Chain A
């Protein structure tokens, strides 16, 4: 059955069940309301559809000669009936909240795991490889010069492995966050962008204490992504990164004074590779929101807000 057909027959059933209850306000009729709510949930009827169906049913019930006393009684009764029909949705809603808590816990766990793996790759494997380099150099000294080509090849492969491990570790979690903290890491990032692209970046961080690892990671990644985009595509003369805590929220904004973007054409046309979808995904995984706007008459303003409590 199509959703519309379901809604229509459901609407008829709802209206007659409500009328039953208004005529004889008894438990049997309330059970009818509850059963309807339950089948609405099972059939995938939305909460708003149910509310609309209820309103229509009440309107139909009111559409007859009633005195004030009847009207008042009807008002109370329709409320009782509605709560009954919504009660299965309340169960569904609580299940959803519980599932969210579990997801958050899994997310934190994965973040912690990523941090540990990043550390193992960066420090532990890095040190082992470094000692291998020393061993190789020693071994090379004991060999006749014509037999060292092989060793040189090995050394090059080792350097490549080190490189890949470093990139991998950085992808999991930028080690700089653990080494110097978010504020200094952002300052280093700004320095890098300035020297690589010639774009002055001013970083202001105002936080009350350390942030959870997952939030730090996300803020750093987004600043990195956004600044690279500003440098590559915005034709800006400066950029500002501001991170601050407002109540129980972390607010990070990245502003520039570049060419902005054409609202009607969408972002992608003017500024390819922004990775806005990825930014949104990262932020919404932490229960936050992303806002992208024009910065007055010149430039772009990207703001993300992440709640601290969820």
Chain B
């Protein structure tokens, strides 16, 4: 079962951005996807995102959590709120200790893996977010860091 860790309202991180709330969800079964989605939706709504954008952020969390279960069996999703001046947003960090990705540019192509070019999966998720970064090392795992800003 997922354990959710709430961060305390934190002090300044960097000189502008301040993490105000954070939820960490362990992913190792399909039920955990529901927990991660609930946290993502709550934070997105709290950050002022519309129902459509909150849904897309939740979708991004689903896609990435699915990837964890499919390729790494277990991992962790951390969702936090961002503040930059008057702008607010959410940051989602998806981390696993799976096999890693040898060629990132290859997995970012539509139609790679079994998704038949429907535009979902990794490349589809990237299009839902404003910032998207993958760090991966073969044998030690993959971290995806993504952000979306409220406009």
With contacts A27-B34, A41-B118 taken as known, whether A88 is within 8 angstroms of B59 at the C-beta atoms is yes
**In the bound complex, how far is the Cα of B110 from the Cα of A93, in angstroms?**
12
- Collect the chain B residues with CB atoms within 8 Å of residue A91's CB: 59, 118-120, 124-125, 127-128
- Collect the chain B residues with CB atoms within 8 Å of residue A34's CB: 58-59, 62
- Collect the chain B residues with CB atoms within 8 Å of residue A80's CB: 51, 55
The answer to whether B59 touches A94, judged by C-beta atoms less than 8 angstroms apart, is no
Contact string against B for A residues 66-88, beta-carbon threshold 8 Å, 1 for contact and 0 otherwise: 00000000000001100110011
The answer to whether A83 touches B52, judged by C-beta atoms less than 8 angstroms apart, is yes
Give the interface centre of B34, B117, B125 by most chain A CB atoms within 10 Å: B34
Q: How far is the CB of B31 from chain A (nearest CB, A)?
A: 8
Q: How far is the CB of A73 from chain B (nearest CB, A)?
A: 15
Q: How large is the interface on A (under 10, 10 to 19, 20 to 34, 35 or more residues)?
A: 20 to 34
Residue of B nearest to A30 (CB): B37
Please report which residues of chain A, range 2-58, place their CB below 8 angstroms from some CB of chain B when the two chains form the complex: 27-28, 30-31, 34, 38, 41-42
The answer to whether A92 touches B52, judged by C-beta atoms less than 8 angstroms apart, is no
**In the bound complex, how far is the Cα of B110 from the Cα of A92, in angstroms?**
10
Task: Judge whether A90 is part of the interface by a CB distance below 8 angstroms.
Answer: yes
Task: Judge whether A103 is part of the interface by a CB distance below 8 angstroms.
Answer: no
Task: Judge whether B137 is part of the interface by a CB distance below 8 angstroms.
Answer: no
Please report which residues of chain B, range 30-46, place their CB below 8 angstroms from some CB of chain A when the two chains form the complex: 33-35, 37-38, 41
Residue of B nearest to A92 (CB): B119
The answer to whether B59 touches A92, judged by C-beta atoms less than 8 angstroms apart, is no
With contacts A41-B118, A91-B127, A94-B128 taken as known, whether A99 is within 8 angstroms of B37 at the C-beta atoms is no
Q: How far is the CB of A220 from chain B (nearest CB, A)?
A: 35
With contacts A34-B62, A91-B124, A95-B110 taken as known, whether A84 is within 8 angstroms of B55 at the C-beta atoms is yes
Q: How far is the CB of B117 from chain A (nearest CB, A)?
A: 8
Interface residues of A (CB under 8 A from B): 27-28, 30-31, 34, 38, 41-42, 79-80, 83-84, 87-88, 90-96, 98-99
Report 19 cross-chain contacts, Cβ distance below 8 Å, ordered by A residue. A27-B35, A27-B41, A31-B33, A31-B34, A34-B59, A83-B52, A88-B59, A88-B120, A88-B124, A91-B124, A91-B125, A91-B127, A92-B119, A92-B124, A93-B119, A95-B118, A95-B124, A96-B119, A99-B110
